[in-house]
């Protein structure tokens, strides 16, 4: 199962997603394109915005997630980390919140 398909299933085909990546890297561009393409192929209405360039600094992911959770919590349904550096930081912020929805990592394991 691809990440895009899994995302569409978890969000039941609709939602707003924040994506953390390093878009200057070719493989990250391919992953983002694949995520978008998979959602269109499965008639999912998932809005990917914003795409956050972490610039190789995982603190950007931490700070951005903290800001979004503080101000825009109701506007974001999921966070997607296309590279490993941001995953730990995003999880750290989200793990401090009361659990209201289960998440899954890139390999599909429940957290």
User: Structure pTM?
Assistant: 0.77
Q: Could you tell me if 9 and 78 are in contact, meaning their C-beta atoms sit under 8 angstroms apart?
A: no
Q: Could you tell me if 82 and 52 are in contact, meaning their C-beta atoms sit under 8 angstroms apart?
A: no
pLDDT by residue (tens digit) across 29-74?
777 776 766 555 555 678 887 899 999 999 999 999 999 998 887 8
pLDDT by residue (tens digit) across 65-102?
999 998 887 889 999 998 888 999 999 999 988 765 44
DSSP 3-state of 97: coil
């Amino acid at each position: 199962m691809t990440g895009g398909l899994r995302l569409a299933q978890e969000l039941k085909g609709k939602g707003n997603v924040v994506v953390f990546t390093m878009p200057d890297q070719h493989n990250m561009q391919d992953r983002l394109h694949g995520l978008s393409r998979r959602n269109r192929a499965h008639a999912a209405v998932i809005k990917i915005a914003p795409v956050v360039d972490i610039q190789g600094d995982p603190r950007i992911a931490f700070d951005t997630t903290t800001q979004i959770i503080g101000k825009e919590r109701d506007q974001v349904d999921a966070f997607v980390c296309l590279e490993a550096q941001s995953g730990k930081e995003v999880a750290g912020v989200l793990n401090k919140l009361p659990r209201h929805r289960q998440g899954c990592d890139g390999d599909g394991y429940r957290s």
